[in-house]
Amino acid sequence: MDSILVRGGSALNGTIEIAGAKNACLALMPATLLSEEPLTLTNAPRLSDIRTMTLLLQSLGVEVQGLQGGKVQAMSSHGEISPLADYDIVRKMRASNLVLGPLLARLGKAVVSLPGGCAIGARPMDIHIDALEALGAGIELRDGYLHATAPGGLKGASYAMRFASVGATENFLMAAVLAKGGSVLRNAAREPEIVDLAKCLRAMGAQISGEGTSTIEIQGVDRLHGATHPVVADRIELGTYMLAPVIAGGEVECLGGRRDLIGAFCDKLEAAGAEIEETERGLKVARKNGRARAVDVVTAPFPGFPTDLQAQMMALMCTAEGVSVLEETVFENRFMHAPELMRMGADIDVHGGHATVTGVERLKGAPVMATDLRASVSLILAGLGAEGETLVSRVYHLDRGYERVEEKLGACGAQVERVKGQ
């Protein structure tokens, strides 16, 4: 099993190209099930999660071809499509549940295993089920599989989600575009990934309005056609690499970055002492005036501070001047990185959904273990600013969400290398 070795103390200077968004691409790929014509995604990230979604779609009968080294995903669902999403694939990644809505819309039936993914809380499927049942689906849980049927086809409906779930919003959107009549989704998720999915579906002929707000309206159509769509930049990768020079020192320009994708995060980073400049190519970030300042963070659905940047922000707060409180409101059990940061000398006190971080002058390198995707990169970030060597084990989590992290950081002067497992 691979590890990442980080030798701290090197300031970062250079450019980092931000990849297409993993979470956007994982929703866009199942959209191919909605049409018999080809769907091509450009600017796709080259990640293990994308390969897992490829395997899942291929198991359903979709033709998927990765072009240009995987940056282009060319897909076609013109053949016979199976309704069965098997446990052996679905268990590897939670986003596999995003085939449920498209299969129901296309076939009127679906048998989808309950999903897996990072161990950061229950993240139940009940909102997905309720949303699809509002469109006329009948769904039962039997032997670990969701058995969904809509023999007469889905019908447009008005539905208000009790929580603005990103995945449930995506499943509802993809199901409703082929439903009979109009649909209204209230308390919809507002994330950029939702906006990107709506843009792609519109390019395929769907009638959607209101994406990016809490109310989305969909008018069902009889069929969708093929399209080519560029995947939006990954705001979580963007925020991660923006933090790197603030922790290690130096100046990095994140190519393709946009402030509107992570405005709340940028506000907190500037409050902590970072300098952020919008350029023609993206966002340039630097920390030029000593240690960062402690800031409090409360995670929230978009446009709030992203839960997927909480662990990385904690890595910065570990060496900030003062005391910060990080409150996790989206997922329970998402402070598993805290004990690992404490192994490096961090002063962190976790109580339920709150973590109080008292900044120390500097962390010290240590052997640490990644517990989930975002925790893994937070430990690498911490290692950049630490004294000595930090060895991060179990980085298979990292490869699910970051492509060539050691190359991107290394090109800016970081001493980061992958240590191959035995």
Task: Name the β-bridge partners of 84.
Answer: 111
Tell me the H-state helices in 272-393: 310-317, 338-343, 373-384
Binding residues for phosphoenolpyruvate: 22-23
Phi, psi dihedrals of residue 350, rounded to the nearest 5°: -105, 130
Residue numbers in the known binding site for UDP-N-acetyl-alpha-D-glucosamine are 94, 308, 330
Q: Of the residues 118, 254, 266, 318, which is catalytic?
A: 118
Is 25 considered catalytic here? no
Do 101 and 33 meet the contact criterion of CB atoms below 8 Å apart?
Answer: no
Amino acid letter at 111?
V
Encode 196-246 in three state secondary structure: HHHHHHHHCCCEEECCCCCEEEEECCCCCCCEEEECCECHHHHHHHHHHHH
Hey, what are 282's tokens? Answer: 């993206």
Binding residues are 22-23, 94, 308, 330
- 3-state SS track over 326-346: EECCCCCCCCCCHHHHHHCCC
Q: Report how far Cα 206 is from the mean position of its chain's Cα atoms.
A: 24
Catalytic residues: 118
